[in-house]
Chain A
Amino acid sequence: MIAVDPTPGSAAVRRGRGRAIGLLVARRFAFGVPLLLVVSLGMFVLAKASPFDPVQRYFGARIIGASAERVSQIRENWGVDAPVLTQYGAWLAHAVTGDFGDSHSLQQPVSQVIGERLGWSVLLLAVAFACALLLGVVLGTAAAWRQGGWLDRAVTGASYVLEAAPVFWLGLGALYVFAVALQWLPGGGLADPGAGLSAGQLVRHLILPATVLAVSQAPWFVLFVRQTLLEALTEDYVLGARSRGLPERRVVVGHALRTALLPFLTLLGARVPELITGALLVETVFSWPGIAKATVDAALNVDFSLLAALTLLATAAVLAGNLLADALYALADPRVALDG
């Protein structure tokens, strides 16, 4: 595991490292692009397998009175009776140019739906992720430092309970306490009705959903940091630092935590799916106008063009998260072998 090169910081090593990371990115793309194709094809096959008929949905009860040729004309225009691969090919040809078709449920082009909503989701996710990370590192370190103390017991116990509690239930609780009973914060949306969208409004409306999402994600970070730090505190270099008489804070934060946080980096990327799952539920509770709300609406209305685009987006986000984490890890720790 120890670096073989006698001068790990030398320019040649860094160049080699850069090339290795470039190869990693290339390999991931070689896996990711076909994967996205397979996922989108899978969506099409599923849509075909569904007993649900978009044309019947479009007509609703009016299909009884509609003339047969109008129905068949729409069937032909929409191409719903063509073979799956033909439909998929047509969709793919448009998708490459950024045109993902129209959303039946929202009566908008899919790209417009995503364009209008993605920013709000990313804002919510980024704020919540940063808060969860901060909570995790601070509380996890504090708990591991005094293992078995009252703080450790309180933090660990609360983490297990919070991990078992569904995020939407926490959301409902926060909604009731802070928006209904105390009326400190607004309970949903981006801005108060009538008030324009301003930074102050946005921050006030962001606090509840972001906090709930952060609190629901934090337990995993807390427990992870606590565990790795506890393991790091038993290592020889910590013993060495202690025996040199370094102050406790320096030993824990400067020596143990620094190395303990390295594997944490790769696992951050692995949390992207959980974050997306959490956001789906939190956005629903707080009527946050992000893409999660659109996903649920699309599913309820079997809006496959929107669902397909959103699934691709989520899959791409997961792959990007994994890649980013692995690349960061490789940059931060020169001992890591890049074989993934």
Chain B
Amino acid sequence: MAELILTAPADPSPRWRPATRSRIGTAAPPRSPRLRLISSALILGVLGVAVLLVPPVVGLDQQVVDLAVANQPPGPGHWFGTDELGRDVLLRCVYGLRVSLAVGLVAALVSTVLGTAVGAIAGATGGWTDRVLMRVLDAVASVPHLLLGIIIVAVLRPSLTAVVISIAATHWLSSARIVRSEVLSLRTRPFIDAAIVGGSSRSRIVARHLLPNVAPQVLLATTLMVPHAIWHETALSFLGLGLPPHLASIGNMLNDAQRSLLIGGWWMSLAPGLVLVITTLAVAGLGGVWRDRLNPRRRSELSW
């Protein structure tokens, strides 16, 4: 049979096409992970340096209003133009990204802690506790997350705390699921049996044996959560339900830019969005490479 196939291309009929490309076996990822890792890390490094160093060096310049240079399109001096109060759009983006990143990081951490607690309790306890917690999880999952976030902010009134709570309360589900399933599979391992036989208490087993083993997955989930959290904050701020106006986040900037857009000020929306897209892609790229290393069988993608 093998010879037959090997000799077949000598007389290719028009309807026959050899399946030459690597369609057999698992499909190779299109880009090399090393390139993705380096480019993501580089971008995040540049953004991190900008976010950390520009504000202390420049001081409060971004707040300075100079109506003489208001509404200038991109050009020398102001690469991404100025807004309706004469502030440099790119400089404001750095400040906005600082706020958005801080909110995203804190919210991702809070939601991971919440999710880990729920997942660990559900997985380690089992029985009715597990069932009830999982039904709660299903219930939260069936309300669209932005809507739930809006309701929470509406209840607490828009503020920094409300936004963080809103993100944490809508984003803990994935880490809870991950931790629960990891704990469930770890529970049957011999070293857990050994710990039980050795007389460890349940809380000690959770703290010393289960949580350290789920830590890598949880850290990965937190990393992948950061872009979601930033997106959520941006969406809330854009709707006018997020951070107060004096905390210029990317979402607040886009909300402000909406007015100028209708009279032709396109550049005020361009830069904040680009910064957001680049940040998201870089974080997701880094997380994706990490995920592929941690779970080689799972494909890498931005999943939201």
* A binding-site residues for B, Cβ under 8 Å: 31, 35, 38-39, 43, 46-47, 49-52, 147-148, 152-153, 156, 160-161, 163-166, 168-169, 172-173, 175-176, 180-181, 187, 223, 227, 230-231, 233-234, 239, 242, 245, 247-248, 272-274, 276-277, 280-281, 284-285, 295-296, 298-300, 302, 307, 310-311, 314-315, 318-319, 322
Contacts and interface: CB of A to CB of B under 8 A. Distances in A.
Interface in B244-294: 254, 257-258, 261-262, 264, 266, 269-270, 272-273, 276-277, 280-281, 284
A165 B241 contact: no
A311 B149 CA distance: 11
A160 B27 CA distance: 18
B193 interface: no
Interface string B78-91: 00000000000000
Contact of B235 (A52, A160, A180, A281): A281
A262 to B, nearest CB: 19
A166 to B, nearest CB: 6
A311 B302 contact: no
B159 to A, nearest CB: 11
B254 A163 contact: no
A299 B145 contact: no
8 contacts: A46-B151, A46-B152, A165-B277, A166-B273, A181-B266, A223-B301, A277-B146, A310-B147
B196 interface: no
B239 A148 contact: no
B154 A307 contact: yes
Interface of B: 13, 15-17, 19, 21, 23-27, 30, 138-139, 141-148, 150-157, 227, 231, 234-235, 238-241, 254, 257-258, 261-262, 264, 266, 269-270, 272-273, 276-277, 280-281, 284, 299, 301-302, 304
A223 B45 CA distance: 28
Nearest to A248: B17
B72 to A, nearest CB: 17
A176 B142 contact: no
Given A300-B240, A315-B142, A168 B155 contact: no
Contact of A277 (B21, B145, B257, B272): B145
B23 A46 contact: no
A171 to B, nearest CB: 10
A148 B150 contact: no
A35 B139 CA distance: 6
A314 B155 contact: no
Contacts of B304: 163, 274
B280 A164 contact: yes
A318 B261 contact: no
B139 A166 contact: no
Please list the 4 inter-chain residue pairs (A to B) with the smallest Cβ-Cβ separation, ordered nearest first. A169-B273, A299-B154, A164-B280, A273-B144
A280 B266 CA distance: 23
Q: Of B153, B258, B301, which is in contact with the most chain A CB atoms at under 10 Å from its CB?
A: B301
Given A46-B151, A299-B154, A319 B240 contact: no
Contact of B19 (A38, A242, A318): A242
Given A180-B261, A295-B150, A164 B144 contact: no
A280 B149 CA distance: 12
A274 B141 CA distance: 11
B30 A164 contact: no
B155 A47 contact: yes
Given A39-B139, A173-B273, A274-B144, 10 more contacts: A50-B155, A147-B21, A147-B23, A164-B281, A166-B238, A187-B262, A272-B144, A295-B147, A295-B150, A318-B144
B170 to A, nearest CB: 10
A49 B143 contact: no
B231 A166 contact: yes
A239 to B, nearest CB: 8
Q: Of A160, A169, A227, which is in contact with the most chain B CB atoms at under 10 Å from its CB?
A: A169
B258 A172 contact: yes
A296 B239 contact: yes
A216 to B, nearest CB: 11
A175 B23 CA distance: 42
B109 to A, nearest CB: 21
Contacts of A38: 139
Contacts of A239: 19, 24
B23 A276 contact: no
A166 B142 contact: no
A311 B143 contact: yes
